[in-house]
Amino acid sequence: MTEWVYANLTDIMGKVHTIALRKDYESFFKNGIGIDGSSIPGFASVNRSDLVAKPDMRTFVKIPWRHDEYLVLLKTYYEDNAFDKDPKNVAEKADLALKEMGYEAVLRPELEFFVLNENGRGNTHYFEPPYSDVTFEYRKKVSEAVQDMGIPIRYHHHENASGQIEVELLWIDGVELTCDYTIYTKIVSKWLAKDMGMAVTYMPKLKKDMAGNGMHIHMFLKKNGENIFRGDNEISQEARYFIGGILEHMPYITALTNPTINSYKRLNGGLEAPRYLAWGYRNRSTLIRVPARMKDIEVRNADSSANPYLAFSLIILAGLDGIKKKIEPSEPVDYDLYALSKEKLKEYPALPESLEDAIELMESDEFVKYALGNELYDTFIDMKKLEIEEFLQAITDWEIKKYRDI
């Protein structure tokens, strides 16, 4: 029986492209395989389309629920050099930047998504018990499969909205590997859903009155094997500088952490989606939360539509810039920002209100341009401007309902 390897490439917007190869195709594992970069959205023009995709053997893994089939993630090259527009290469650069400063990042992502054909039996709620949660068997299978692939799972549970679930990974060393494991978790969640006659979506905001899909990310830095964020009654000074860097740069990288038009329906809709550039201890109304154990921080604004290679990398690089420049954040907030009046909230700097605003801020920022590299930076902006233009030309159901009888 033929053994198959499904090799996966993540494009600029975070979508996965897969090629199936025989496991005994030795040349692929030694030299990679040629691909048409012009067929990957935003990757390459026709006259520079010959790219080589090589397997990252750290990610080679057996698919637990299929016989003699495997997964591997790809990295792309152009003329023997790492291809500048490959998001996976951005994460590798983030790890190198950490190493140059003597650090290693340890991350723990939380993935929220909806099971679309969840039929709503019972009153689904946060921590819905297995006997009344019709998503239970599905999310259990996803979590077990991911664990069998060597990816550590902290827990899985039903979230606040009907049919919404969360799978949270355990601590992972390194930015690139965290992104790899995030992509694999998404692949598994979609593949098993299809096998079970279901479908899932990572769309940030599915309905107006329902909680959206965030992609919170916990993190801390290690130096010489020791957690340098850890404190007793508060976090360390290095952690404060790291927070200061993230808060300073976040408005300019929001197009990467919240990259869709729909993302801003979540950010502007409340329900624990943070908009204001604040941080606090144990405070889920702030953009950055310091959990009770004082050993890590949680960045809460990113959503599940983000490309993890871009979003996680830029958050880490922003934090490192804070340490380099000793950027002191504002004082921590200990009250509920959601409970403040609109007038009071005007005192707090906020994230952009739309993708259009986020792109405009990103265009004005040299930090993001340097972090992504000129080609990826320009291409991402061009692709998002086209997306905004397409949306502005689209006729929505809301418009038809609102204006049809005029």
The number of CA neighbours under 13 Å toward the Cβ of 112 is 26
Residue 70 forms beta bridges with which residues?
A: 5, 62
Mean pLDDT over residues 8-34, rounded?
95
Q: Read off the pLDDT of residues 217-268 as tens digits, 9 standing for 90 and up.
A: 999 999 999 999 998 889 999 999 999 999 999 999 999 999 999 999 999 8
Question: Rounded mean pLDDT of 169-193?
Answer: 98
d(CA 324, CA 388) in angstroms, rounded, equals 35
Whether the pLDDT of residue 93 is over 80: the answer is: yes
Q: Which H helix or E strand runs over 7?
A: strand 4-10
Task: Give pLDDT, residue 134.
Answer: 87
Does the structure show a pLDDT above 50 at 94? yes
Taking Cα atoms as reference points, which of 101, 177, 111 lies closest to residue 142? 111
Return the SS3 of 113.
strand
Asked if residues 281 and 350 have their Cβ atoms less than 8 Å apart, the reply is: no
Banded pLDDT at 207 (limits 50, 70, 90): confident
The owner of tokens 């993230």 is 246
Domains along the chain with CATH numbers: 4-83 (3.10.20.70), 91-250+263-347 (3.30.590.10)
Say what angle helices 237-257 and 374-393 make with each other, to 10 degrees. Answer: 50
Mean pLDDT over each residue of the chain, to the nearest integer: 93
Interatomic CA distance for residues 162 and 207, integer angstroms: 11
* Interacting residues of 43 by C-beta distance below 8 A, sequence separation 6+: 11, 12, 37, 51, 76, 83, 85, 86
* Whether the predicted pLDDT of 213 surpasses 80: yes
Instruction: Compare 91 and 271 and report the one with higher pLDDT.
Output: 91
List, for residues 322-336, the tens digit of each pLDDT value.
Answer: 999 999 999 999 988
**Which residue from 259, 262, 264, 267 is spatially nearest to 383, judged by alpha carbons?**
259
CA-closest candidate to residue 58, choices 187, 179, 185: 179
Q: Residue 79's pLDDT is what?
A: 87
| pLDDT at residue 117 is higher than 80 | no
pLDDT band for position 123 (cuts 50, 70, 90) = very low
Percent of the chain with pLDDT over 90: 82
Report the predicted TM-score, pTM, of the whole model to 2 decimal places: 0.94
pLDDT digits (tens, 9 = 90+) for 367-396: 999 999 999 999 999 999 999 999 999 999
Strands 50-62 and 33-36: antiparallel
Q: Which of 178, 137, 367, 166 has its CA nearest to residue 256?
A: 367
Which residue in 316, 287, 169, 303 sits closest to 229, CA to CA?
Answer: 316
What DSSP string runs through 326-350? Answer: T-PPPPPP-S-GGGS-HHHHTTS-B
On the question of pLDDT at 360 being above 60, the answer is: yes
User: Counting every residue, how long is the chain?
Assistant: 406
Does residue 122 carry a pLDDT above 60? Answer: no
Question: In the block, which residue shows the tokens 């010489």?
Answer: 224
State the pLDDT at residue 120. Answer: 45
Helical H runs in 258-373?
263-267, 308-325, 342-345, 355-363, 366-372
Count how many Cα atoms sit within 13 Å of the Cα of residue 379 in the half-sphere of its side chain. Answer: 19
What are the tens digits of pLDDT across the range 277-307? 999 999 998 999 999 888 999 999 999 999 9
Please state the separation of Cα 21 from the chain's center in Å. 28
Task: Extract the tokens encoding 115.
Answer: 């099971």
Q: What is the pLDDT of residue 121?
A: 45
Band of pLDDT at residue 80, cut at 50, 70 and 90: confident
Phi, psi for residue 222 in degrees, rounded to 5: -110, 145
Q: Give the C-alpha separation, 155 to 220, whole Å.
A: 20
pLDDT range class, residue 342, cuts 50, 70, 90: confident
